Amino acid sequence: MNHPLDPASPIGVFDSGVGGLTVVRALMERLPFENILYFGDTARVPYGVKSVETIAHYTTQITEFLLERRVKLLIIACNTMAAVAAQVVRDLSPAPVLDVIEAGALAALAATRTRRIGVIGTPTTINSNAYSRAIHEIEPQTRIVSQACALFVPLVEEGWLDHPVTRLTAQEYLKPVLAERIDTLVLGCTHYPLIKPLLQEVCGPEVTLVDSAEAMAERAAALLTDLNLHNPGREAPEYHFFVTDVPLRFQSIGERFLGRSLSNVHVVKW
Ligand code: DGL
Asked if pLDDT for residue 124 goes beyond 80, the answer is yes
Question: What percentage of the chain reaches a pLDDT higher than 70?
Answer: 99
pLDDT band, very low/low/confident/very high, at 60 (cuts 50, 70, 90): very high
DSSP H helical ranges for 99-146: 100-111, 123-128, 130-138
Known catalytic residue at 78: yes
Question: How high does pLDDT run on average in the chain?
Answer: 96
Looking at residue 2, its pLDDT comes to 55
More confident residue, 248 or 194: 194
Q: Which amino acid is at 130?
A: A
Looking at residue 247, its pLDDT comes to 86
pLDDT band, very low/low/confident/very high, at 249 (cuts 50, 70, 90): confident
Shortest-distance Cα residue to atom 1 of ligand 1: 78
pLDDT band, very low/low/confident/very high, at 3 (cuts 50, 70, 90): low
Shortest-distance Cα residue to atom 7 of ligand 1: 46
pLDDT band, very low/low/confident/very high, at 109 (cuts 50, 70, 90): very high
Of the candidates 241, 223, 251, the residue with the CA atom closest to the CA atom of residue 65 = 241
Active-site option among 27, 100, 156, 189: 189
Q: Where in the chain is the domain with CATH 3.40.50.1860?
A: 11-99+215-267, 102-212
Q: Name residues whose C-beta falls within 8 Å of residue 143's C-beta, 6 or more positions apart in sequence.
A: 115, 116, 117, 180
Q: pLDDT digits over 212-223, tens only?
A: 899 999 999 999
Q: What is the 53 CA–ligand 1 centroid distance (Å)? A: 16
pLDDT band, very low/low/confident/very high, at 270 (cuts 50, 70, 90): confident
Q: What is the 123 CA–ligand 1 centroid distance (Å)? A: 10
Q: Which amino acid is at 175?
A: K
Mean pLDDT of 109-132: 97
Specify the fold of 11-99+215-267.
Answer: Rossmann fold (3.40.50)
Q: What is the CATH number of domain 102-212?
A: 3.40.50.1860
Asked if pLDDT for residue 18 goes beyond 70, the answer is yes
Known catalytic residue at 203: no
Active-site option among 13, 27, 73, 78: 78
Are 144 and 135 in contact by the 8 Å Cβ rule? The answer is yes
- Residue 199, Cα to own-chain centre: how many angstroms? 17
Q: Which residues have C-beta atoms less than 6 Å from ligand 1? A: 15-17, 19, 45-48, 78-80, 121-122, 125, 153, 189-191
pLDDT band, very low/low/confident/very high, at 105 (cuts 50, 70, 90): very high
Looking at residue 227, its pLDDT comes to 97
pLDDT band, very low/low/confident/very high, at 121 (cuts 50, 70, 90): very high
